[in-house]
Structure 1
Amino acid sequence: MDTPRSASPDTAAQARTETATPGQLPIHGLLSYRLSRVANAMSRSAALRYRREFDVSLGEWRTIALLGADAPLTLNRLARLAALDKAQMSRVVAKLSERGLVLREFGAGRTTQLTLTRKGAALYRGLITAANERDRAFLVCLTEQERDALDSALDKLATLARALERAEER
């Protein structure tokens, strides 16, 4: 519960009741909030494991995983796929390059193609194995019907979210 430390639980509950608009959910009930909380918890546990076992941050893991799955990629494309801005991705790639995990090859014009080095590819294999283990651990609590429903629901929500994002950009 996100209440001020000085407020008692009764006072906080009363404040929520008084400010709630009939027919509207408080933030705790909103789908986007709930999904974000679950995704953040999953990401935090992944970050802890990947840091401990592979000495990479979550951003580095995502970069390595994306390059391992679909290289070569430009910095712009990689940033879009990782949902990071270009400056953030540039810093992540610079660190990985310094560690000998990512190779930058200059292409036509100002484009740079990014790929994993042999060392990066070996790290990718360990990381993707760990990621698949985590994925199975999360999915085991769901029945096959629930997994199918979740896949379908996530696809629908992602499609709608992209459409709403495009509409907001106009």
Structure 2
Amino acid sequence: MSVTITELLSFRLHQVANAISRSAATRYRRDFDVSLGEWRTIALLGAEAPLSLNRLARLASLDKGQMSRVVTKLDERGLLLRESGAGRTTQLSLSRKGKALYKGLIEAANERNDAFLVCLTEQERQVLDSALTKLATLARALERQEAPR
């Protein structure tokens, strides 16, 4: 059975993710003066610091160049701390100012998360969580399988 692009699972998920991201970007820019990339970086460092630039880029699904630009902007605003790590790596974490911003951002993110989940029953939430986990696992496996050799 052939379907149109608008019926493809990947297209539908992309549309929903983009809508969620656009509204998040608007709120985080308005309320906290950060871009979506900056928000994700701050959130990851708030949850898992210290992180190297490479690890941070992988977690945020950004290439190293994009992450480097985001980190530079955050560093210029005094939101990051840099410490020497093993070899030539630099470990990144949030400064005191960055941690304060993180608290506000994560609170807003949790409010948004709750607002989206309120339209689902508890059973629907569990099914969605399970389905997303399965789809992510399969997507990673297909990505490895389809990668050039």
Question: Identical aligned pairs, as a percentage?
Answer: 78
Matched ranges for 1:19-38 at <5 A? 23-38=1-16
> What is the RMSD computed on CA atoms of the aligned residues?
0.6
Matched ranges for 1:1-170 at <5 A? 23-169=1-147, 170=149
What letter is aligned with 1:29? E
Deviation (angstroms), 1:107? 2.0
| Separation of aligned partners in 1, 2:133 and 2:56 | 21
Equivalenced residues, count: 148
| Separation of aligned partners in 2, 1:54 and 1:108 | 33
Structure with larger RCO (C-alpha < 8 A, sep 6+): 2
TM-score (norm 1): 0.86
Over alpha carbons, which structure has the higher Rg?
1
Instruction: Tell me the secondary structure at the aligned position of residue 110 of structure 2.
Output: helix
Runs of 5+ unmatched residues, structure 1: 1-22
Deviation (angstroms), 1:104? 1.3
Deviation (angstroms), 1:110? 1.2
Instruction: Tell me the secondary structure at the aligned position of residue 65 of structure 2.
Output: helix
TM-score (norm 2): 0.98
What letter is aligned with 1:109? G
Deviation (angstroms), 1:83? 0.2
Runs of 4+ residues over 3 Å off in structure 1: none
Runs of 5+ unmatched residues, structure 2: none
What letter is aligned with 1:151? D
